[in-house]
């Protein structure tokens, strides 16, 4: 059964997306949790794809879910979409969302799109496909994030649609949305699956983050969607929906390694966005914000990757500050562990250097963090100075680094 946006029933339950234009509500299936790609992320992807050479044909999403990403493609690219969804109620929500987006004044071609209730692993000989986007369903409580858990399976999709994909000079246009938790070996396995159907096709892995130090989307852009000579891209979505995303592209350098050496008073410490580190593109970013400087990694893994360097970061580029949790200069080395009994000692050292606000940037248990942060806040609010800063530490080292934020 094929559904048309023009005939969509808009009476279903809706949810507001804070990143969508005023008045655009998204529909979801009855008895379903309203999980979907944020509109801002969907649109940013579509804008990037607009720069790619697509052949004639539809945008195909054979597991379209609520259809928000497909609607964004149609709206921004001015292309017809063809979505397939196995669950009928979800398919009706998808076609309603296509209609809702069209009603916002986007390209009217979206109304010529279709949502099919059916199995996305069954091809359609009548279609010419300009681009294939596939975001397989995955168990919400998965611990392994195994490729075998994806539904539908990638080889089944490839087999069904390979002959329908339009071929340009750089091959078909393919975007695979995958779990952001798959590891390097699993990424290699995905590449092998793609190569089995399209040998030697170019590929660009894309890490997308909305902040909080985590990767929200990991995807493989292949063929016409890949960037020639570029194997990786990091996309940091801005918290301001009016701003474009910060994009860093390149090829991974050697894996960073933490080096044990005593920290020095006066050197700079920066705690990075861990999602950037996970993408392997820190070196590409360093070339812009720390040109010609030697960088020492203090912490590589976890939520607070830490580097040490001689001069401050150049964060004049638009969006560069989004990739930094904290950056400052060491003014004091405090030789003690961080615990409730040592908070007065830390506060005394902080007041000596004029701190009125000091944020703990150290791995702490959820129980200990508010107690320790609250303790230092109370002691500095009474007799602190104008300076702001943070406390850092290297793993396995009891020395606390008191860092001042100069700017």
* Model confidence band, residue 221 (pLDDT cutoffs 50, 70, 90): very high
- Of 314, 306, 311, nearest in space to 270 by CA: 306
Terminal Cα-to-Cα distance of the chain (whole angstroms): 60
Q: Which fold has domain 2-250?
A: Rossmann fold (3.40.50)
Mean pLDDT in the chain?
A: 92
* Model confidence band, residue 137 (pLDDT cutoffs 50, 70, 90): confident
Q: What is the pLDDT of residue 241?
A: 87
Q: What is the pLDDT of residue 327?
A: 97
Statement: residue 33 has pLDDT above 90: no
Q: How many CB atoms lie within 10 A of CB 20?
A: 20
Sheet holding 296-299, edge to edge: 296-299, 306-309, 268-272, 324-335, 399-404, 387-392, 355-360
For 67-109, how does the pLDDT look when each residue is reduced to its tens digit (9 = 90+)?
999 999 999 999 999 999 999 999 999 999 999 999 998 878 8
Q: Which fold has domain 268-404?
A: VC0802-like (3.30.2130)
Q: What is the pLDDT of residue 138?
A: 77
Statement: residue 275 has pLDDT above 70: yes
Q: Is-contact 191 203, C-beta < 8 A? A: yes
- Of 294, 324, 293, nearest in space to 392 by CA: 324
Look up residue 336 and give its two tokens.
Answer: 């003690």
Task: List the domain boundaries for the chain.
Answer: 2-250, 268-404
* Model confidence band, residue 141 (pLDDT cutoffs 50, 70, 90): low
Statement: residue 396 has pLDDT above 90: no
Kind and range of the H or E run holding 89:
helix 88-102
- Of 292, 272, 280, 290, nearest in space to 256 by CA: 280
* Model confidence band, residue 279 (pLDDT cutoffs 50, 70, 90): very high
Sheet holding 129-134, edge to edge: 2-3, 114-117, 81-85, 58-61, 129-134, 173-178, 217-223, 203-209, 232-236, 246-250
């Amino acid at each position: 059964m094929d559904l048309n946006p023009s005939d969509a029933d808009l009476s279903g339950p809706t949810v507001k997306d804070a990143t969508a234009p005023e008045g655009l509500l998204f529909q979801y299936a009855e008895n379903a949790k309203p999980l979907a790609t944020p509109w801002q992320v969907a649109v940013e992807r579509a804008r990037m794809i607009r720069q790619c050479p697509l052949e004639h044909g539809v945008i195909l999403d054979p597991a379209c879910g609520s259809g928000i990403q497909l609607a964004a493609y149609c709206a921004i690219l001015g292309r017809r979409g063809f979505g397939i969804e196995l669950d009928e109620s979800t398919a009706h929500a998808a076609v309603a969302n296509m209609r809702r987006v069209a009603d916002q004044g986007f390209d009217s071609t979206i109304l010529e799109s279709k949502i099919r209730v059916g199995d996305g692993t069954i091809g359609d000989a009548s279609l010419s496909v300009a681009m294939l986007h596939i975001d397989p369903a995955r168990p919400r409580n998965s611990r392994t994030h195994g490729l075998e858990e994806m539904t539908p399976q990638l080889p089944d999709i490839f087999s069904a649609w390979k002959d329908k994909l339009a071929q340009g000079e750089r091959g078909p246009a393919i975007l695979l949305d995958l779990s952001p938790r798959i590891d390097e070996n699993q990424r290699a396995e995905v590449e092998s699956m793609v190569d089995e159907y399209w040998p030697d096709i170019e590929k660009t892995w894309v890490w997308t983050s909305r902040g909080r130090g985590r990767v929200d989307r990991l995807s493989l852009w292949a063929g016409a969607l890949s960037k020639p000579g570029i194997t990786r891209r990091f996309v940091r979505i801005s918290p301001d929906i009016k701003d474009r995303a910060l994009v860093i592209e390149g090829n991974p350098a050697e894996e960073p390694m933490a080096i044990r050496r005593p920290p020095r008073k006066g050197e700079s410490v920066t705690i990075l966005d861990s999602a950037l580190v996970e993408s392997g593109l820190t070196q590409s970013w360093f070339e812009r914000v720390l040109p010609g400087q030697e960088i020492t990694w203090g912490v590589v893994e976890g939520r607070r990757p830490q580097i040490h360097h001689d001069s401050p970061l150049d964060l004049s580029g638009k969006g560069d500050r989004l990739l930094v949790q904290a950056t400052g200069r060491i003014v004091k080395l405090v030789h003690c562990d961080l615990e409730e009994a040592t908070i007065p000692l830390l506060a005394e050292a902080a007041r000596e250097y004029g701190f009125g606000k000091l944020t703990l940037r150290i791995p702490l248990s959820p129980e200990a963090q508010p107690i320790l942060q609250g303790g230092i806040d109370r002691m500095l609010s009474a007799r602190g100075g104008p300076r702001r800063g943070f406390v850092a530490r290297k793993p396995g080292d009891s020395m606390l680094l008191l860092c001042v934020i100069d700017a």
